[in-house]
Structure 1
Amino acid sequence: MTRHTTLTGAGLAVAVTLALAGCAGERASGGDDDADVTPADAWSFVSRPDLTPPIVTVSTADDAASLVRDDMYAFLGPKDLDRGSAMQGAMIVDAEGNPVWIANTGENSAFDLRVQQHQGEPVLTYWVGRSGFHGRGEIVILDDTYSEIGRVTTADPLGPGNADMHETTITPQGTMLLLAYVTAPADLTAVGGPRDGYVLEGHVQEVDIATGEVVFDWASLDEVPVTESVHELPEGGGTRTEPYDYIHLNGVSLDGDGLLVSARNTGTVYRLDRATATVDWRLGGRDSDFTMDADTQFAWQHDAQRRADGTITLFDNQSEADADRSRGLRLALDEEAMTASAVAEYLPPDDRLSATQGNLQELPNGNIVIGWGSQPFYSEFDRDGDLVYDATFTAGTSYRVYASPWTATPATAPDAQLIENGSTASVFASWNGATDVSSWQLVSGADEASAVEIARVPREGFETEIPIPDTGSLGAYVGVRAMDADGDVIGGGSARIAAPEPTPGG
């Protein structure tokens, strides 16, 4: 096994918080109580005062073949229970950590934001709903104008609106892989619980996006007994009101004609036969079908994926009981000898132990992106396994983090705010989600049709300040125009500029 090196000096101190079980997806702050709060350690924008996303700080190795070179974006869903922290929601940031698109989802946490292919086109998908250690909600699909083009959720026998936040994968067949939990009766005497007890039974569904029809359904109690769980039954648990989370499914992905299902609370990856909805084999856990040495053993894992070279990758939250850091892990399986061997591990630059959440993404160039789950970090490793990019953000956690190219022109107009200070003035311009803005043009005139250019400045991050050289040159109409790299106006031209609201108490 290759033990990959880390980036010297890129480590950032972090406090470790261990959750008792499951993914820390608790409802984050939001709503009217937060409307006038600008959190510390968060961005604030003159043109969009409603958006206060977390600040992202990036460490990058010199001359590294990283996100910076590849001109990719990071996709994350920051969330936090602390009302003094940055807002929750879906968020796209560039390689330098600057926000590109910010969606304030309020009390509905946003999970698993990423770019996927649907009907031959790139789309954005993310889960929204009410979440705790598991969730009930639906997956939103947006096109490249950020217009909603669909929603997907569970169907019978689970009923609508019960899609869990842990999985949102679109398949080439136009279906979506979903997870859900159902409170079900179970005999818990073998684990110290009541005979007439209750568990959270894990379900895997594959749903046709166009029709909502269920094309695959699997229920964990049919094949996975409660004795496989490595999660201790809490005192007083196993009742209808406090069902035992014995399996905690947290990921499902395609594996040829089957599916790989990650179960956190059994410490096992299950391969399901897609035709018969039965378990082919178990990797890890108490009843592993594979012989595994110390290097291959994982615990509380997430996001098991079969790769093109036949290996399986996963995010190993803690590989041993006394582990001091989580890791990315790549395993080779011999499915005839039924043995597993470790090919590579991807280590953080510090003691970054993530008790919950997390993912591992393989990029087309062979690089690896890791979202560190309950630790507010994401990283990129090159093909040789060296850490080339590390970023941290100032808001709680992100269930997963992805890196991907993305091009979008919002259906909405740019936002702009005119701020006057005596004889000087500036316009602050932004266009939430636009990826092709190269510069901003300030125009003014008697009306929009007759407006002429007053100034032009390069785009600088999410919001750009445009100084007004002479306020006397302004007419009745003042506007901004977003320009692409060729100097062409994109997105329908100008946006109106409103006068600033009075300062409270001023």
Structure 2
Amino acid sequence: MVVISGSPWAKRLVFLVLSINILLWWYVYSIPGVTDDVQPATTKLKTNDAKAIPIDKKVEAKDGKSAKGVKAAKDDKTGESVDKKGIKTFRSWSNFDIVKPKNDHTYVYRRFKSSPHKPPHIEWNPNGKPLAKGYVFITPQSSGAERGLVQAASFIMKQNAEMIYAHDEGPYDSAGLRVQTVHNEQFLTLWRGHRKMSHGFGEVIVMNSEYEKTVVHLDAIITNMYGQKFLSGLDFHEQELTTRGTILVTAYNTTMYNLTQMGGSEHGFVTDSLFFEIDIETQEILFSWSALDHFWPEDSMLPLISSSGYGGPKNPYDFFHLSSIQAVNHDSFLISSRNFWSVYLISRSNGRILWELRGNTKGGDFGALPHHGRFRWQNHVRAHNVTSREMILSMFDNHNSPEDMGKTYSRGLLLKLKLPPNPDEKPEVLRILSPDRAKISPEYGSYQLGLSNGNQFVSWGAGGVVHEYGPDDGHDLRWQARFGYDESITSYRAFKDVWTGTPSKWTPALVVEKREDTVQGFVSWNGATDIDAYNIYLAEPGTELKPLGKAKVLGFETGFDLGVKNNETNCIMVTAVRKGQEIRQSNVGCIEGTTFVSTIVDSMGKATGDSVVEKTTLQKIMGFLSVSSSYIGINFTMKFTHPALLLALCQLASASPCKPSLSVTSNAPTSTENESASPATETSTALSVETGSSTISHDATLTASETASTSDLSILTTSVSTSSAEPTTTLEATTDLSTTVDETTTTFESETSATLISTTTAEASTTTAAAPEIPSNRVLNPGFEDALVYPWESMAGSLSRTSSEVFSGSKSGFFSGNTPMSAMQGVRQFIEPTWITPGKSYKFSAWVKVTSTVNCGVRTIVCGHGLGQGTTSSAGTIEEPGDFALASVTCSWTQAQWEARPSVQIRSYCTGFSFFVDQATLEEVESLG
């Protein structure tokens, strides 16, 4: 046993030195290396359409890594070059580092030295005909457990497969990345959130050309079928900007519905397709629409039991499936129902159906379509050249679904409609886009008209294949690309468009490496377009910048060779050049004698925390603290016994909770931002996620790091400026980000000159949180004044908000039910169980105006429980049809009824029943006096 004598502070100092020693041992022998699970990529991705276009470029990985000698794209000045000062520029080897994982557990991807992003490797084939200007926008998604994504991100790519921008949302899925232009200003839009089967629950991001974000939430409660709390209720199918400063978005709400006519349960569930028009600035809902208010689920073309669900509470029947929305003029919306095989024009004033275009033989209000113009299971419907007399309609006609496969190939379809609808004037087929080797896509897909030169662009949805066609001929296929494997990758939509981006909050990312007799740099700037070159400077601390030369931009990541020995250069920095002007400087990378220290920087120009430091340097540090000859024998033991040893040392020293400290000083960019998941400034609402006993509160774009560790981490970033010093500007964080794990609080502060990430720990304390306040009225949305009827729901009928008949306020609820056989009809609302005490008495009241009854039994107001028709023993009677009358009942729930989930109901057993309801209350009887 080792006995240490002396004062307590001396003991603590000794143990602190030992603790640091152990930490340094751990750090040295846990520095991650290259761990990609690779094998020689000798098997090429299959290209089903290889015969459609002569292959001009083939990329094939060799030895599982680099694909050397690839033919360069015509729009890039590729190949090595040397400037006047001897700087040799080359395309970064890692730009063609194509990784094919063993066992194909992900798709083939690319990786870089200066960026953490791993875009899919894209095989592309042009045929030499003119292509439209612009970039390709894709959002790959996995459709299977194997051979899928390596990184869930959206990408902007050049048509020669070079990456321009990667938008990584961390733990969230993304969809629909594209450019939209409003009043001559360009924006990027995309959805992020969680996908469940064919639905999504999340929010929409709108970004300007500097990648500054505005987040659009759905300020309404959506009942989803999975019992989980998501970011927001917005679905991924549509994010359409309007000229009114609004955005059109979709959502899906789970609603109880009588499915007996279809062979289902009387207490079945359907997915109600909703869409909203939301003011982007105020987040106010300006318009809402529900498919269940206008259509009978029985009229759907989708079988009750399908891959989309079977009518249960967790797998509701998706009878309508709203797949696209577009504002037409200023008074209507064009929507597409995939599962009705129909396109509808909706009135903006009252939500009524103005006309229907039916994809089957009936044709709807336009009469029968010609045989080759019929469509089914369609996606991405858009109107073009709309006048009072006609419109052009484009769509991606899947013509297939998981339950309806193989009868006809999928295609892009262009129709001309005469207006107003007339059954005697049938729709005209203008164009059909289909490759020589036809494709079957059971889901997703898009068809884009009007590229910069008039060309057309098609994404085939299921399977990572996109095509560019000439402007006129549906068979004029000019360019094709494939990413991933057919059976495991999808892209909901894909687009091609012109885009100019200059990130405002992150800088070019520079990594410096030593070679035997030279220094090489690798630089990229995620999202920056039209960068011509990088000026290279010697950037010694405390001295003026010294120009070393220029490197021309060659692809996403550009490499350059300084042509000097590594001991002749210490620190370098680059500046991005556009049209002869330096617009942004990078971080600083340094070579120190025979070892280099270079901060690995992510897409925002921030240090990732993985500073590359040669082990020889750290070994020298540790030699000062311990006998270097002993480490060979004990390093393995130290690595795995470090936590226990550290705890024991802390206890021996009687230290208050032990928080070992590790500080890393790195040369970082001048402008950073506290987001780890996605590179952009964001205006958003805070999200709280409860995990066990810990609470993580952060903005939706941020990925909470592994904060279970109790280490104090401080990263200090410095910069080298090309001009005189300017006042420091502090960026105010738009969203609180705090992480609490076992009483450890992490805070993030952002400044233009430095980014400080620190963890502070207070002494353990015991606090008692106040119990949540229970409202006196347990009924939510009692007068239907909210934007939705939720949390009210209908039973065997439809429920909507109305202003035609109200008891008080501006809105009331209106229920209307009509069934061929008598069924329980009415409305109900489930009550938060924590607001109810079993055995206590409550009074449920509502103002009800009955308008019609058909074969009804007793009309009652009751307290219920569970998903069935169970009620407590009491019931109140509702007046005969007439004016508003107050109906009430006093009831209580037993423990078993409370556990089944309490509810309040207004109902009757009828074949027809309709009524208005307003100002409902559920209050504890004791509180009423």
In 1, the alpha carbon distance for the partners of 2:190 and 2:530 equals 23
Partner amino acid, structure 1, of 2:392: T
Whether the aligned pair in 2 keeps the contact of 1:191 and 1:226 (CA below 8 Å) is no
Q: Which moved more, 1:226-235 or 1:404-413?
A: 226-235
Whether the aligned pair in 1 keeps the contact of 2:119 and 2:151 (CA below 8 Å) is yes
Call closer, same or farther: CA 1:370–1:271 in 2, change over 3 Å: same
In 2, the alpha carbon distance for the partners of 1:185 and 1:11 equals 55
Call closer, same or farther: CA 1:79–1:7 in 2, change over 3 Å: closer
C-alpha displacement of 1:407? 0.9
Aligned to 1:54: 120
Aligned to 2:532: 438
In 2, the alpha carbon distance for the partners of 1:448 and 1:295 equals 74
Call closer, same or farther: CA 1:448–1:115 in 2, change over 3 Å: farther
The superposition leaves residues 444-480 of structure 1 with CA deviations (integer Å, 9 ceiling, x where unpaired) of: 1423852223232221111011112003574432112
In 2, the alpha carbon distance for the partners of 1:472 and 1:45 equals 22
Out of 138, 146, 157, the residue aligned to residue 76 of structure 1 is: 138
Call closer, same or farther: CA 1:225–1:285 in 2, change over 3 Å: farther
* 2:394 is the counterpart of 1:313: yes
Call closer, same or farther: CA 1:282–1:11 in 2, change over 3 Å: farther
Call closer, same or farther: CA 1:470–1:171 in 2, change over 3 Å: same
Aligned to 1:237: 310
Partner amino acid, structure 2, of 1:481: T
Call closer, same or farther: CA 1:119–1:341 in 2, change over 3 Å: closer
* 2:429 is the counterpart of 1:362: no
Aligned to 2:560: 466
More helix by share: 2
In 1, the alpha carbon distance for the partners of 2:300 and 2:508 equals 52
Aligned to 2:716: none
Partner amino acid, structure 1, of 2:351: A
In 2, the alpha carbon distance for the partners of 1:439 and 1:460 equals 9
Partner amino acid, structure 1, of 2:379: H
The superposition leaves residues 36-91 of structure 1 with CA deviations (integer Å, 9 ceiling, x where unpaired) of: x996611100011x2111112221121x2213xx2x11111122255754322111
* 2:335 is the counterpart of 1:261: yes
* 2:302 is the counterpart of 1:215: no
Partner amino acid, structure 1, of 2:484: T
Out of 332, 348, 351, the residue aligned to residue 416 of structure 2 is: 332
* 2:436 is the counterpart of 1:393: no
Q: Which moved more, 1:293-302 or 1:323-332?
A: 323-332
Q: RCO greater where, 1 or 2, for CA within 8 Å and sep 6 or more? A: 1
In 2, the alpha carbon distance for the partners of 1:448 and 1:231 equals 71
Partner amino acid, structure 1, of 2:353: V
Out of 549, 567, 577, the residue aligned to residue 483 of structure 1 is: 577
Q: Which moved more, 1:334-343 or 1:383-392?
A: 334-343
Structure 1 vs Structure 2: percent identity of aligned residues?
Answer: 27
Call closer, same or farther: CA 1:144–1:295 in 2, change over 3 Å: same
The superposition leaves residues 20-48 of structure 1 with CA deviations (integer Å, 9 ceiling, x where unpaired) of: xxxxxxxxxxxxxx9xx996611100011
Whether the aligned pair in 1 keeps the contact of 2:456 and 2:471 (CA below 8 Å) is yes
Aligned to 2:709: none
Q: Which moved more, 1:90-99 or 1:284-293?
A: 284-293
* 2:459 is the counterpart of 1:371: yes
* 2:177 is the counterpart of 1:113: yes
The superposition leaves residues 143-165 of structure 1 with CA deviations (integer Å, 9 ceiling, x where unpaired) of: 212121x1113234759811100
Aligned to 1:495: 587
C-alpha displacement of 1:369? 1.1
Call closer, same or farther: CA 1:324–1:431 in 2, change over 3 Å: same
Q: What count of residue pairs does the alignment treat as equivalent?
A: 469
The CA RMSD measured in Å over matched residues stands at: 2.8
Out of 174, 186, 206, the residue aligned to residue 122 of structure 1 is: 186
Aligned to 1:381: 469
Whether the aligned pair in 2 keeps the contact of 1:10 and 1:349 (CA below 8 Å) is no
SS of the residue 2:549 aligns to? strand
Aligned to 2:250: 179
In 2, the alpha carbon distance for the partners of 1:221 and 1:142 equals 33
Aligned to 2:865: none
Whether the aligned pair in 2 keeps the contact of 1:59 and 1:389 (CA below 8 Å) is yes
Within a 5 Å distance, the mapping from 1:279-298 to structure 2 comes to 279-285=353-359, 288-290=364-366, 291-298=368-375
Whether the aligned pair in 1 keeps the contact of 2:392 and 2:414 (CA below 8 Å) is yes
The superposition leaves residues 174-232 of structure 1 with CA deviations (integer Å, 9 ceiling, x where unpaired) of: 11111111011222122221122110000111111111222211110111111221211
Whether the aligned pair in 2 keeps the contact of 1:7 and 1:349 (CA below 8 Å) is no
Call closer, same or farther: CA 1:38–1:428 in 2, change over 3 Å: farther
In 2, the alpha carbon distance for the partners of 1:207 and 1:446 equals 52
SS of the residue 1:57 aligns to? strand
Partner amino acid, structure 2, of 1:52: K
Partner amino acid, structure 1, of 2:394: T
The superposition leaves residues 105-124 of structure 1 with CA deviations (integer Å, 9 ceiling, x where unpaired) of: 23311111111235652111
In 1, the alpha carbon distance for the partners of 2:576 and 2:218 equals 41
Out of 372, 390, 402, the residue aligned to residue 495 of structure 2 is: 402
Whether the aligned pair in 2 keeps the contact of 1:415 and 1:496 (CA below 8 Å) is no
The superposition leaves residues 276-323 of structure 1 with CA deviations (integer Å, 9 ceiling, x where unpaired) of: 201122222567333123211111110111111621010001268534
Whether the aligned pair in 2 keeps the contact of 1:110 and 1:126 (CA below 8 Å) is yes
Whether the aligned pair in 2 keeps the contact of 1:481 and 1:489 (CA below 8 Å) is yes
In 2, the alpha carbon distance for the partners of 1:296 and 1:448 equals 72
Partner amino acid, structure 1, of 2:262: V
Whether the aligned pair in 2 keeps the contact of 1:79 and 1:87 (CA below 8 Å) is no
Aligned to 1:425: 519
Call closer, same or farther: CA 1:136–1:502 in 2, change over 3 Å: same
Q: Which moved more, 1:328-337 or 1:153-162?
A: 153-162
Call closer, same or farther: CA 1:266–1:467 in 2, change over 3 Å: same
In 2, the alpha carbon distance for the partners of 1:447 and 1:153 equals 46
Partner amino acid, structure 1, of 2:561: P
Aligned to 2:110: 43
Call closer, same or farther: CA 1:474–1:346 in 2, change over 3 Å: farther
Call closer, same or farther: CA 1:324–1:469 in 2, change over 3 Å: farther
C-alpha displacement of 1:167? 0.3
Aligned to 1:225: 296
Partner amino acid, structure 2, of 1:241: K
In 2, the alpha carbon distance for the partners of 1:213 and 1:190 equals 38
In 1, the alpha carbon distance for the partners of 2:493 and 2:201 equals 18
* 2:211 is the counterpart of 1:146: yes
Whether the aligned pair in 1 keeps the contact of 2:458 and 2:467 (CA below 8 Å) is yes
Out of 299, 323, 326, the residue aligned to residue 250 of structure 1 is: 323
In 2, the alpha carbon distance for the partners of 1:377 and 1:349 equals 14
Whether the aligned pair in 2 keeps the contact of 1:445 and 1:474 (CA below 8 Å) is no
Report the TM-score, using the length of structure 1 for normalisation.
0.86
* 2:396 is the counterpart of 1:303: no
Structure 1 unaligned residues grouped into runs of 5+: 1-5, 13-33
Aligned to 1:25: none
SS of the residue 2:371 aligns to? coil
In 1, the alpha carbon distance for the partners of 2:614 and 2:373 equals 59
